[in-house]
Amino acid sequence: MGQNTTLAIILVVVGSFCYALSASFQHRAIKRKVHRNEEKRPLGFRAFLQTVTSRRWLAGAVLLGISAILQIIALSLAPVSVVQPVGLLAFPWSILIQARLHHQRIRRRVGLAVTLTVGATAAFTVQSALHAVPRSDLNGVRVAIGAAVVYLLTLAFGLLGAHGPKHWRCLLWSSGGAMLYGLEAALVKSLIDFIRKVNWMHSPLLWTILIALALGSLTAGWMIQQGFATGPSEIVVGSTTITSPVIAVTYGIAVLGEGRLLDVPAAVTMVLFAALAVTGVVVLTRLDKSWDERPVLR
């Protein structure tokens, strides 16, 4: 499958909506089990098993699967540094979904923040696409080192999420899971490029990446559910949509060599647009964190 950046971006936009809707379903399912978790305790294994059998949680899982499939297809069509930042749109989608669930009007400040996030993300994506390389520079050693660094960071965030300050636990859990999601996207891109280039059936690198993907997906999913159990879905989606693109783009540029065509003005412009997009997400998080306490439609 050849490069088609426009189609890849469209697929990720649709996937970001599916992810936001999935988060809403799964968060509401988990909150039924931990309605008032004032101590911010992690979700127990028994409660988790009870939650994952509910129709609402399973509906969220289906939507999450659709989002993942769309992202994988997009990664086969464009560089990870182009695809992953578009996922930032999941947070504005989440705000709109929560407003609908709670029968709330979109306030002017919220609308401006959504516009800022969408506009900055679009500008970043266009700039990234204009300077994207057609193929990654795949190196097994760099892939392994990059993955190990992300795993160590994730471990640190998981420990802090379990034992750190209570008011930070939701953010820490979800950010740790988001790091793995960002790594997963980069590893999928590595896998796609690797299969295209070599006789992969007998390659240890291929099976190592597959094992890393499987373990990373399970761990990321678990950490995100802990985020839902210890805080509002807007915080989970917001931290995920910030952290995941940062990890994926950094990995794509530093490990996969996707920044080879970037010059200084383009890089500075991309950093500026990324900062604006992150600012929009932070503003939205501050404006709407109280929605978690409001009654929702059943």
pLDDT digits (tens, 9 = 90+) for 110-121: 778 778 877 887
Two structure tokens written together for 168 = 């930070």
Q: What is the pLDDT of residue 96?
A: 82
Does pLDDT of 170 surpass 70?
A: yes
Q: What is the pLDDT of residue 134?
A: 64
Lowest mean pLDDT among 5-9, 34-38, 246-250: 34-38
Two structure tokens written together for 103 = 């029968």
Average pLDDT of the chain to the nearest whole number: 79
Cβ–Cβ < 8 Å for 63, 25: yes
Average pLDDT over residues 183-190: 83
- The structure's pTM equals 0.75
**What is each CA distance from 271 to 129, 251, 267, in whole angstroms?**
14, 15, 6
CA distance 8 to 82: 9
Average pLDDT over residues 260-283: 81
**What is each CA distance from 178 to 27, 172, 264, in whole angstroms?**
16, 10, 28
CA atoms within 13 A on the CB side of 8: 24
| Maximum average pLDDT range among 16-20, 164-168, 185-189, 197-201 | 16-20
Q: What is the pLDDT of residue 298?
A: 40
Average pLDDT over residues 49-75: 87
pLDDT class of 285 with cuts at 50, 70, 90? low
Q: Mapped to the 3 state alphabet, what secondary structure does the chain carry? A: CCCCHHHHHHHHHHHHHHHHHHHHHHHHHHHHHCCCCCCCCCCCHHHHHHHHCCHHHHHHHHHHHHHHHHHHHHHCCCCHHHHHHHHHHHHHHHHHHHHHHCCCCCCHHHHHHHHHHHHHHHHHHHHHHHCCCCCCCCCHHHHHHHHHHHHHHHHHHHHHHHHCCHHHHHHHHHHHHHHHHHHHHHHHHHHHHHHHHCCHHHCHHHHHHHHHHHHHHHHHHHHHHHHHHHCCHHHHHHHHHHHHHHHHHHHHHHCCCCCCCCCHHHHHHHHHHHHHHHHHHHHHHHHHHHHHHCCCCC
pLDDT class of 93 with cuts at 50, 70, 90? confident
Q: What is the pLDDT of residue 297?
A: 40
Two structure tokens written together for 164 = 């750190």
pLDDT class of 36 with cuts at 50, 70, 90? low
CA distance 223 to 286: 22
Two structure tokens written together for 86 = 């578009």
Q: What is the pLDDT of residue 162?
A: 85
Does pLDDT of 63 surpass 90?
A: yes
Cβ–Cβ < 8 Å for 199, 190: no
| Maximum average pLDDT range among 37-46, 114-123, 265-274 | 265-274
Does pLDDT of 296 surpass 50?
A: no
94 closest CA partner among 232, 221, 231, 246: 232
pLDDT class of 295 with cuts at 50, 70, 90? very low
- Residue bearing the bigger pLDDT, 70 or 39: 70
Lowest mean pLDDT among 108-122, 123-137, 278-292: 278-292
CA distance 277 to 273: 6
